[in-house]
Structure 1
Amino acid sequence: MSELLPPRLATDLFGDPIESQPLWFKASSFHSPDFDPESYIADLRSFVPLESLAAELRAHLSALKAELVDLINRDYADFVSLSTRLVDVDSAVARMRDPLAEFRDKVAAFRTVVDSSLSNLRSGLRQRAEASAAREILELLLDTFHVVSKVEKLIKELPTTASDLSSADIASIEKSSPNSGNSLQHIESGANLRETQSILLERIASEMNRLKFYMTHAKNLPFIENMEKRIQNAISLLDDSLGHCFVDSLEHRDANAIYNCLRAYAAIDNTSAAEEHFRTIIVSPLIHKIIPHSHSPVVGSSDGLQEDYWQIMQCIEKDCKFILEISASANSGLHVFDFLANSILKEVLFAIQKGKPGAFSPGRPTEFLQNYKSSLGFLAFLEGYCPSRSAVAKFRSEAVYVDFMKQWNVGVYFSLRFQEIAGALDSALMVTTITPAENLHGNQGKYQKLALKQSVALLESLRSCWSDDVLVFSFSDKFLRLSLQLISRYSTWLSSGLAARKARGANSNSTPNSEWAISVHVEDFVYVMHDISFLVGELSGHYLGHVLQLLESCSAEVLDLVKQSILQAGKALENLLPIVMDTMIEAIVEKSIEDLRQLKGITATYRMTNKLPVRHSPYVSGILRPLKAFLDGEHVAYLTHNARNELLHGATIRITSRYYELASDLVNVARKTESSLLRLRQGAQRRVGASSDALDNNISDTEKICMQLFLDIQEYGRNLAAIGIKAADIPAYRSLWQCVAPEDKQTQIVF
């Protein structure tokens, strides 16, 4: 049992194995596939001496060798038995080599045979493919030759009269045309030569389509190049014959022949020729009668298009509807034709450009807009003949449609309207004084709810932006922006004027277009305030509803943005109402202060005299005279009840405040002056030894001034009550009462 235990390792004094390795030495690193000795040594030498590293490596090498010896000693019996069994190995190898060599020779011979057979097979397949390709080309050339010959023969055999038809032709037509059952009855009776020609031409066109297919796959071949002249002649003959038959069918309104000719044009992919024939034969004479385009313009002729479009629509309904219905028939394959754009609209555009070029000119905005809207209505009429939405989209994508729309320079039209509308408002605002509207005091006129011409000009400009004779729906965003700019221009005109009036004392240099506010009478601000209120109500009411109704086809998000923008513009205008009210109040107060300044004479009246006040001063009756005159004027009828009360209370509060300031200053100065004089007198009396009892019994100048002011403010309170203001409710009046009233009357305000 003891032999199975591993040998004990030698230990040092502390019980650690002597062969134990340091922590920095990792033997497992040598087994890594990307182990690099140089990098390993470079990493360790920074903190381990090379001598220590070499010693550890030698110790590890010794350990490995010892382990190898142990392994050999452990399996030594197996190594020895293996060597004893390897006897006569060379002879065994020689016996095995001969069969393998023989097998290798057989495989090589078989490989040679297989390679030869594979090469022969590939050569045969290549020859077969070349022969097949040559055969296909030959068949293609033969088919091309046969088709060319057949087309030439059919073209030459086209009948010009009913007697030219033979039974063979009839049989050939019956085989080639799936819808020829009914037509053959006409052919046999000789009653419909055009339909017969159209059927044959449709058959020739189908053969020609085959010919184009063959030519596409056999191009650059000498045989095809030699036949190029014959092919081009055949194409030319087919185009001429088909054109004559189609024109003849159009002139006689032969629906069956037209149908067959259109199918022939579609087969050879030459729709433009059919559309051009229809334009020149049918459409052009009709349009020329309505819009003649001679070289010399007709004197006195109008460029209006509304009546012309009405006549053109009547002609289309009468003379063009038949081919539109044929080309739109179901499962006919004729949807490739666009007679609406390339025949009708193209000719209409040409006629307008030649006969009425002024119709496209935006220089006459009113006539231009009428023509533009009439043109949109005409296009909508044409789109009514489109059988589906995809047909409408195809019609709008046609080059003629795009060119037609480019003729209408709506951008220039809007610029002219912008100058016209904005210029009218700007001219109304470029004045030095505001102007009352016509028939201001009557009930005549278009916008009699507005009091000033400038406001009337704004409302007319705003309504012009969205009137039927100005608005272009595709430019609604620009007209909305113009409307907001007009409101902003009017608001700026008002705000700059009000600011200039307020700052006129401090700065004599006024801004442009602000002189009106400096020189205007205070009564005229009533009209300004009334017009602002009316415009704000109009913007948030009827005007907003009208704009939203015009834009009802837009999305809810767009309508909400339009609504918010107009309401915001109205809010900016509404914010001027308090400023206008303040301006009116300030103007009234300034006039009242002119009378208030007379109270300074009270000091001179009662100083150094024995006179006592017995009645109120004359100036008191004039303090509220400007306010009363303002309220009694005719212009006050334009103020609302709330605005009138606001003005009344605001003016009386400010007047009373100024009254208190002047009166308190007067009393304070009088008291200071009296105090100084009293000190001087007392000093003089002390020097001469006189008594001051006489002075003490007299009423002072300050008391007399206060008595007079008390009488004045009582009268002022009665005047306030006469206009409906309770004086005790005004803080400045209560302060004034406390300043000048006797001590026994300060607790209660009684007049």
Structure 2
Amino acid sequence: MAKEMEGYSLPISSVDLCFDGNVFVQAHFSADLFLQEQRGRATLETMRDDLGSYLKVLRSATLDLIDHDYADFVGLSSSLVGLDKAVGKIRDPLGQLREEVMAIMSSLDEALRGMKAQLEERRALRAKRRQLEARLNAIGCLRLLDKRLLLPCLDGLPVAERSAPAFNQLTFCMEKCPPDDQLNLHASCAQGRLMQLLEGMLLDAVIALQGEKGGVWTSGVALRILRLYASLGEASIAEELVGRHVVAPALDSIVKDASSSGLRLSDVYHSALAVLSGKLGRLLTLTSCENRDSLTVEGFDFLANSFWPQFVHMLQLHLPNVSAPGNPNVFHQRFCETLSFLEELERLCGSSEAIQTLRSKPSYRQFLNSWNLQVYTQIRFQELAACVECAFPEQPYPSHGFDSSSAGRLLGLNPSSPIHTGFWLAPTSSCWQSISRCWHDDVLIRRVGHKFWKMSLQIVARYGQWSKDILEHQLGSVKVREEGAKEDMLLLPLCVHRDVCQLSWHLEHHLLPTATATLLSATSDQHHSTIGSLLARSLDVALEAFRSDVEPLAVRCIVQIISRWSLPHLSQCRDIPRLYRRTNRAHPTGPRPYVSSTLSPPLAFRSLVLTSFTAPEPRGEVERGGEGAWVDAPLLRLIMAQIFSEITLQYHSGVLEVLTSVLKMEQSLRRLKRIRATDGGGEAPSAAADDDEKIRAQLALDVHHFCEQVESAGVPRDEVKQLPQLVELVDNAMRGRVGSLQ
């Protein structure tokens, strides 16, 4: 019936409705939403009529459904007749069966509890039996040990070899026995006697190994004793015994003598290695992991557990200030000696596992931490930074700037014969010497090589900042100097620029390879490419300050000095109209002297630089400008172009001003001529027009001569700002194109 209901569909009305009948059987049907949606489709009266019609259809469908299922409802009621009697007949047998099952389950539970109790009792009896057997076995082992260890004997080694298995058996049995103070005390006494016997034999064997010169008998005895210690699980006791009775007295004597007599630390290390090889050499061979034959025993590390703890203890006891942290020279020497000593110890370890064991010792890390490398690098940085700062001139700088005398006095200049390792400035030489000293064998510690690289970059940055400051001061002095810039003020920017280039070359070709090789030697192969690229990138960032700040500033300072030296002569350009107007001078045939005077400073500078070139030189020297060159050829061309640009800008302004005034004069003369012609007067003399032509011709001769001199200096006119426009200006003026003056 349920399936029939699921398959039953709503009836369809014969009349067209304004709504869908299926909306009423939806799970989220809402009357308000239904009315809100239907009001836009039909009126309320129409909706009322359609709902009434659909209600009649539903009622009719309901009656049809009841009629369809009526026979099933009647059959269901008739099939339930007599069901209560059938249920009553089977109720009593089922209840009786349930009681019987519960009784059986109760009996089984009681039997199971009894069986568990008996099993637990049997388990306890077995445990007590095992404890009793272990106790009896332990007592038997103790009696056997007492019998063997208390009897006097000439050779204790066989006794120890027979007693060791019994002691191991005793240890095993004691773990199974219940706590017993008397039995534990007896076992401790037996262990003490066995350890005492083994200690005496071990010390005798070690002493015999020190004096043995041949044969394997003593080595065999020592090997048997060590195997006994290993079988008993007491290797640490053997290592501690050898360290306390064999190593400690020898090291104590050595370190005491060094403390009292002032022996060098290298002598202490040498003597300690002699003790290690002399007293423990054969013992290390017998326990070496490299020898995998029958004449070795594993489980011992006398170097890490016997020698090393005693050595560190003696140093801390008798030489607490062995690192000398306040004296960097002594610290460096002793630290390098310590590293060599540790490398020798690791070589004697024989295997990578033994080396890792030694390095993992707390005393090893404590010993290395006692060498405070951070304090050492700070002291070195203070020393090197102090040397650099002392080389810089004291402030305040001269208000009039650095001329040749003040620069030579304050900066230690010697351009004719450099005495500062190829540099012309003492601060540059001091910076390079400090950087080089960072990587000297007497200063550098490879473990902190990255700190020395940082130190070098800091010195470079400090020098760059000083160069920038002093050039800015020099440039400001040029701008405010009343008497004009002097040629001797060129000395400082030239030397700064040259030294910056020299220093950059040294940093790239000397410092970077040295630092890269040093840092790569202290790292694994897989990091080599990364470290090399990081070093090159960091140095390039440091040198970028030179290329972007210092070098352009030095060039600008040179340009300002020379251009300010030349610009006063350009004022004579404005005097040309006065020379030709109403003076009856002849037509100009050559340039005026002011052009040569204006170009004299830059040309003299060029000549000075060209004479400073050294030829021939090795290729490497030419690439960095040579030891005696002021600047290289490309830079000279750049400087000359900028100087000529500064001069040309002023020259263009002066020529334009003169031509403009001449043009205005011509216009005035034309107006005057027209006025006179209107009044009936005679023709005005053409002398003024001839004077204007002479002025234009003189300007054209001067400008063309200026351009020729610029090009003769190796600078094309296109590289000089406003020079093509200046030439075009005077040419247009000569052709009478007055509209092209602007």
TM norm structure 1 = 0.74
Deviation (angstroms), 1:360 = 1.0
1:45–1:377 distance in 2 versus 1, CA, 3 Å: same
Deviation (angstroms), 1:127 = 1.6
Q: 270-279 or 607-616: which moved more?
A: 607-616
1:207–1:600 distance in 2 versus 1, CA, 3 Å: farther
Letter in 2 for 1:14: V
Q: Is 1:532 matched with 2:500? A: yes
* Equivalent residue in structure 2 for 1:230, among 186, 191, 194: 186
Paired residues of 2:641 and 2:720 also in contact (CA < 8 A): no
**1:452-531 → structure 2 map (5 Å cutoff):** 452-503=425-476, 521-531=489-499
Q: How many residues matched?
A: 665
1:741–1:101 distance in 2 versus 1, CA, 3 Å: closer
Determine the C-alpha separation between the residues in 1 that align with 2:718 and 2:62.
118
Deviation (angstroms), 1:58 = 12
Determine the C-alpha separation between the residues in 1 that align with 2:732 and 2:85.
152
Deviation (angstroms), 1:591 = 0.6
Determine the C-alpha separation between the residues in 2 that align with 1:88 and 1:605.
150
Q: Is 1:393 matched with 2:394? A: no
Q: Is 1:427 matched with 2:390? A: yes
Q: Is 1:639 matched with 2:631? A: yes
State the secondary structure of the residue aligned to 1:362. coil
Paired residues of 1:284 and 1:347 also in contact (CA < 8 A): yes
Q: Is 1:245 matched with 2:208? A: no
Determine the C-alpha separation between the residues in 2 that align with 1:240 and 1:307.
36
Determine the C-alpha separation between the residues in 1 that align with 2:116 and 2:54.
71
Determine the C-alpha separation between the residues in 2 that align with 1:311 and 1:358.
19
* Equivalent residue in structure 1 for 2:542, among 563, 569, 574: 569
1:334–1:11 distance in 2 versus 1, CA, 3 Å: closer
Paired residues of 1:606 and 1:705 also in contact (CA < 8 A): yes
Partner of 2:140: 146
* Equivalent residue in structure 2 for 1:316, among 252, 264, 276: 276
Q: Is 1:596 matched with 2:570? A: yes
Partner of 1:180: none
Partner of 1:134: 128
Q: 499-508 or 323-332: which moved more?
A: 499-508
**1:642-657 → structure 2 map (5 Å cutoff):** 642-657=634-649
Partner of 1:170: none
1:594–1:81 distance in 2 versus 1, CA, 3 Å: closer
State the secondary structure of the residue aligned to 1:360. coil
1:406-426 CA distances to partner (integer Å, 9 max, x unpaired)?
111111111112222233223
Q: Is 1:551 matched with 2:515? A: no
**1:289-328 → structure 2 map (5 Å cutoff):** 289-292=253-256, 297-298=260-261, 301=262, 304-328=264-288
Q: Is 1:627 matched with 2:602? A: yes
Q: In structure 1, list runs of 5 or more residues that go unmatched.
A: 1-8, 30-39, 163-192, 509-516
RMSD in angstroms over aligned alpha carbons?
4.7
Paired residues of 2:494 and 2:630 also in contact (CA < 8 A): yes
1:728–1:498 distance in 2 versus 1, CA, 3 Å: closer
Paired residues of 1:592 and 1:625 also in contact (CA < 8 A): yes
Percent of aligned positions that are identical = 24
Partner of 1:339: 302
1:446–1:323 distance in 2 versus 1, CA, 3 Å: farther
Determine the C-alpha separation between the residues in 2 that align with 1:226 and 1:640.
99
Determine the C-alpha separation between the residues in 2 that align with 1:237 and 1:401.
34
Partner of 1:407: 370
Partner of 1:370: 333
Determine the C-alpha separation between the residues in 1 that align with 2:713 and 2:85.
145
**1:154-303 → structure 2 map (5 Å cutoff):** 154-157=148-151, 159=153, 162=154, 193=155, 196-197=156-157, 199-201=158-160, 203-218=162-177, 221=179, 224-253=180-209, 254-292=218-256, 297-298=260-261, 301=262
State the secondary structure of the residue aligned to 1:14. coil
1:699–1:134 distance in 2 versus 1, CA, 3 Å: same
Partner of 2:71: 73
Deviation (angstroms), 1:278 = 1.9
Deviation (angstroms), 1:79 = 7.3
Partner of 1:587: 561
1:243–1:56 distance in 2 versus 1, CA, 3 Å: farther
1:580-612 CA distances to partner (integer Å, 9 max, x unpaired)?
333322321111112223444445555665555
Determine the C-alpha separation between the residues in 1 that align with 2:671 and 2:35.
107
1:244-302 CA distances to partner (integer Å, 9 max, x unpaired)?
332222222243343343334444544443223322333234434543357x744xx36
Determine the C-alpha separation between the residues in 1 that align with 2:111 and 2:731.
142
Q: 125-134 or 426-435: which moved more?
A: 426-435
Letter in 2 for 1:25: F
Letter in 2 for 1:456: S
Determine the C-alpha separation between the residues in 2 that align with 1:622 and 1:673.
29
Q: In structure 2, list runs of 5 or more residues that go unmatched.
A: 1-9, 37-47, 210-217, 614-628, 738-742
1:331–1:214 distance in 2 versus 1, CA, 3 Å: farther
Letter in 2 for 1:200: V
